[in-house]
Amino acid sequence: MRKSGGLFFTIAAIAITLIIWGNPLNYILTAFAPPSEPVRPSIFSLSTPGLSIDAGALMAHVRSLPQPRNSPSSKEAARQYITSRLADYGIQAERQAYGIEQERLTGVASGVNIVANIPGSDPTAGSIVLGAHYDTEIGSPGADDNGSAIATLLETARIFSTQADSQSDVLAAAADPLTAPKSIRLVFFDQEERQIDGSGLLGSLAFTQQPGNIADIKGAIILDMIGYACHDPGCQAYPPRLPIPNLPNTGDFLAVLGLTGQTDLNQTDLDQTDSDHADLLGAFAFSAQRIGPTLLTLPVPQSMLNFFPDLLRSDHAPFWDKNIPAVLVSDTANFRNPHYHTAQDKPDTLDSIFLQGSAQHVVNAIAALISQSG
Ligand SMILES: [Zn+2]
């Protein structure tokens, strides 16, 4: 997660408060109205043995990734770890290098994204992207930022890989992407963090600028820091001067930020695009009813983005820019985790139970989304 001026979580905190307690500010309440048509639950999306996250495997991935991951050699070691684990699950990964010409001209380093497809049963049904950056801030081990998310992508790969064929459970077999219509596209982004020239999000920008990458995407779930929780009163911080009373002061929820309302004036099919955004949020909202941690879906009106540019802090922003429905899933980063972007962002600081719950929410949401044929 890139550094912020704080406005992102000003909006997020307002939305959280509205969702939890309601709020007399009716105009804001209208603006943040939840999606009216949550995604219809899939029979195999929840509490299915074959879809269970392995908490031990998650933490093993977090510990095994190189720390930090900001030099050419450490990033290459991270890429090799990722592609090796995917190969273990029978998934072939593609390396997408970008920015080579720019590096020659400007000196800004090039990068490498890793893309892996888990095909569904219907090649025309489209794909759901699950994406996260694997690079770190200089000097930070990046356990929460963003090892927690990379571990979740790898566990998602294991669960939905063709090895699901061996599951004897009927429902688990039904969740095999070979029988679900949509594909899953795992994307491990390079260079999300700030570069020497002040730029960032370079990997997700490069990915979304390739038409072949995005032609069939129906929705994108972007993870950035999903493994830190705090339970002592006062440990969850908020921006100063927030005009909302009774904010939650413990950090035991997972935030899902999405768009609602008019999405783009150039879009010819506004209603369809809007409902796709609602489907993403709805998939998480449904999961939230079953398995912890508490999960807060935050629908943000498109019109607010002009006033709150810090809503665009992570790899979901390039997808929104391309009018692709996308959500950002996060533990709220620096407003909760005191180790954010420091040398202390180590595996032992993560809450493994919280991370397991976060990852399970992601798997549940994906299971529901890939089961939809439309
Ligand atoms: Zn970061």
How confident is the model over 212-252, as pLDDT tens digits?
A: 999 999 999 999 999 999 999 999 887 666 545 666 889 99
Contact 265, 37 (CB under 8 A): no
Most confidently modeled range among 283-287, 288-292, 300-304 = 283-287
Percent of the chain with pLDDT over 90: 57
CA of 209 to the centre of ligand 1 (A): 22
Q: Tell me which residue has tokens 């299915």.
A: 48
Most confidently modeled range among 173-182, 238-247, 264-273, 329-338 = 329-338
Produce one character per residue of 220-256: b if its CB has 16 or more CB atoms within 10 Å, e if not: bbbbbbbbbbbeeeeebbbbeeeebeeebeebbbbbb
pLDDT of residue 261: 65
Pairing mode, if any, of strands 217-223 and 111-118? unpaired
CA of 228 to the centre of ligand 1 (A): 13
Contact 364, 46 (CB under 8 A): yes
Domains and CATH numbers, the chain: 7-370 (3.40.630.10)
CA of 146 to the centre of ligand 1 (A): 7
- Answer whether residue 355 shows pLDDT above 70: yes
CA of 340 to the centre of ligand 1 (A): 7
How confident is the model over 150-184, as pLDDT tens digits?
A: 999 999 999 998 644 444 444 454 556 667 899 99
CA of 314 to the centre of ligand 1 (A): 9
pLDDT of residue 305: 72
- Return d(Cα 129, Cα 365) in angstroms, integer: 12
CA of 39 to the centre of ligand 1 (A): 31
What's the mean pLDDT in 345-358? 96
Read off the DSSP letter of residue 341: T
Question: Taking Cα atoms as reference points, which of 278, 252, 292 lies closest to residue 46?
Answer: 292
pLDDT of residue 90: 92
CA of 199 to the centre of ligand 1 (A): 13
What's the mean pLDDT in 339-356? 97
How confident is the model over 11-39, as pLDDT tens digits?
A: 444 444 333 333 222 223 223 333 333 44
- Return d(Cα 369, Cα 374) in angstroms, integer: 10
CA of 137 to the centre of ligand 1 (A): 6
pLDDT of residue 356: 94
Produce one character per residue of 316-345: b if its CB has 16 or more CB atoms within 10 Å, e if not: bbbbbbbebbbbbbbbbbbbbbebbbeeeb
Contacts of 76 (CB under 8 A, 6+ apart): none
